[in-house]
Amino acid sequence: MDTKVNTLRQFFRQPNRGYLIREIARLAGVNHVTARKHIREYLKEGMIVKKAAAPYPVFSANTSSKKYLNLKLCHNLELIRESGLVERLEREYDYPVIVLFGSFAKAIDDEASDVDICIISNVDKAMDLSSYERVLGRKISIHKFTRKTWETAKRKNPGLVNGIANGIVLSGQLEVV
């Protein structure tokens, strides 16, 4: 089971990239026969697609597959949990509201995407997030609001506030009305 998940993990990290079977096998730490078997299963389930290329076909993520997106969302949330980022933000910002939003929260992110995180806290400090960025394999963009600026944003920047409200609350309770 782990080797099957590991095979898929490569497609989560770089969904737009085409992989050769042997490449997937190397990255997932399995032999190419096992990788081929898993890829066949994922092809059957519609989670990855095969593209003709020379000398061998390549495989990439099927980003329109609901099942792929659901599993990628689980993967993204699990990456955040493993990184310990939420616990660190909670302690640094005195247990603020933390919301994951944007492409990472919708599982449509790729290697060029940021991990957008909204923090509502009156604590004013900056944090070095480079170690968490390495774990997530993505840049982290913190969108920091105080309670007062959050109220202002609701009136002046409804687009951003709606985007945040449609995200995933990782800590606390987001108040939109």
Partner 1 sequence: MRFQEGIEERQAKRVPPDVIKAKSLIVSSEQAIATAARIPNEPTTRKSIVRELYEGLRQYCEAIGLIHGYKFATHEIITAFLEDVLKEPRSAARFDRYRKLRNGINYYGDDVSPETVNEALTEIPTIIKHLSNHTKSKPS
Interacting residues with partner 1 (CB under 8 A):
90-91, 94-95, 121-125, 147, 172-173, 175
Least Å distance, CB 147 to partner 1, is 8
Least Å distance, CB 160 to partner 1, is 22
Q: Is 125 left (phi over 0), alpha (psi -120 to 50) or beta?
A: beta
Nearest-angstrom CA–CA distance, 51 and 112: 22
Q: What angle do CA 28, 29, 33 make, to 5 degrees?
A: 90
Least Å distance, CB 100 to partner 1, is 17
Nearer Cβ to partner 1, position 18 or 172? 172
- Strands (E) located in the chain: 48-51, 58-61, 97-101, 114-120, 139-145, 168-171
Least Å distance, CB 173 to partner 1, is 4
Nearer Cβ to partner 1, position 160 or 174? 174
Nearer Cβ to partner 1, position 45 or 151? 151
Nearest-angstrom CA–CA distance, 163 and 146: 17
C-beta of residue 47 within 8 angstroms of C-beta of residue 68 = yes
Nearest-angstrom CA–CA distance, 115 and 176: 21
Least Å distance, CB 87 to partner 1, is 11
| Cα atoms in the 13 Å half-sphere on the side-chain side of 166 | 10
Nearer Cβ to partner 1, position 139 or 147? 147
Nearer Cβ to partner 1, position 2 or 94? 94
